[in-house]
């Protein structure tokens, strides 16, 4: 299965995909795209000798024009699954229609709690004692698509976002590659009785 990754930042989740799934079990990362030309994620792709391209907002009339250009490039690279690994832009409906049920995202909270930006800060302000990570399909909403995998961690006295993120990152780096492996294996489907419910065949 050919996988494309969109990332805006550091790209540690992209690196986990390079380290744990790229080149094994029939999975190849064939393209990495970013909205930020200076995203370290693009450099990680170059080191891994994977085609990498930036699509900065200034180069396009609007978001949907940019998203279509990204979709065209990913398609030309043969992408079958699109993984959002810290991609900080909302994708247009037109983009999602090009990869139906084939766009996934990793989010640093136990959805549906704390969607959107600054999820860990939201969770700390709320005073939760349990944090976690969600990998989910992407739909037209903000972090609202069907959940594929989740894992929780108890941090009853956490106060600083940095300390929580330090504990969540290793979980993300396991869960996201695992979701890609499961999808590549054909082990992920939707419950016909409730398409919000993702069924995993292990």
> Which of the 8 DSSP states describes residue 94?
H
Does residue 145 belong to the site contacting ligand GRF (CB under 6 A)?
Answer: no
107 interacts with ligand GRF by CB under 6 A: yes
Tokens of 126: 């709320």
Q: Which one from 20, 22, 107, 169 is the annotated catalytic residue?
A: 107
Rule CB under 6 A: choose which of 29, 33, 71, 106 binds ligand GRF.
Answer: 106
Q: Is 22 a catalytic residue?
A: no
- Provide the residue count of the chain: 202
Nearer to ligand GRF, 74 or 164 (CB): 164
Select from 159, 129, 163, 5 the least CA-distant residue to 74: 5
Closest CA to 9 of 95, 84, 118: 84
Angle at 20 between CA 18 and CA 25, to 5 degrees: 105
Q: Which is nearer to ligand GRF, 36 or 102 (CB)?
A: 36
33 binds ligand GRF (CB under 6 A): no
Q: Does 13 bind ligand GRF (CB under 6 A)?
A: yes
Q: Please state, as a whole number, how many other Cβ atoms lie within 10 Å of the Cβ of residue 53.
A: 16
Q: Give the range of 17-25, 69-77, 100-108, 146-154 binding ligand GRF by CB under 6 A.
A: 100-108
Peptide bond into 112 cis (omega under 30): yes
The least distance separating ligand GRF from the CB of residue 128, rounded to whole angstroms, comes to 16
Q: Is 12 in the site for ligand GRF (CB under 6 A)?
A: yes
Cβ-based neighbour number of residue 73 at 10 Å: 16
The two tokens of residue 14 are 């992209």
Position 177 contacts ligand GRF (CB under 6 A): no
Residue nearest to ligand GRF (CB): 86
Q: Which chain residues interact with ligand GRF by CB under 6 A?
A: 7, 9-13, 85-86, 106-108, 172
């Amino acid at each position: 299965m050919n996988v494309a990754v969109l990332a805006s930042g550091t790209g540690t989740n992209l690196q986990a995909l390079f380290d744990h799934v790229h080149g094994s079990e029939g999975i190849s990362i064939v393209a990495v795209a970013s909205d930020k030309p200076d995203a370290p994620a693009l450099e990680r792709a170059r080191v891994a000798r994977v085609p990498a391209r930036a699509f900065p907002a200034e180069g396009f009339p609007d978001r949907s024009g940019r998203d279509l250009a990204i979709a065209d490039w990913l398609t030309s690279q043969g992408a079958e699954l699109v993984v959002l690994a810290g991609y900080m832009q909302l994708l247009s409906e037109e983009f999602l229609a090009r990869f139906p049920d084939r766009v996934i995202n990793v989010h640093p909270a136990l959805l549906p709690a704390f969607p959107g930006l600054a999820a860990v800060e939201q969770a700390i302000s709320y005073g939760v004692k349990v944090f976690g990570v969600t990998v989910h399909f992407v739909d037209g909403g903000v972090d609202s698509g069907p959940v594929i995998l989740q894992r929780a961690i108890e941090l009853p006295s956490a106060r600083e976002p940095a300390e929580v993120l330090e504990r969540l990152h290793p979980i993300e780096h396991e869960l996201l590659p695992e979701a890609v492996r499961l999808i590549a294996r054909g082990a992920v489907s939707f419950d016909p009785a409730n398409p919000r419910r993702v069924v995993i065949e292990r």
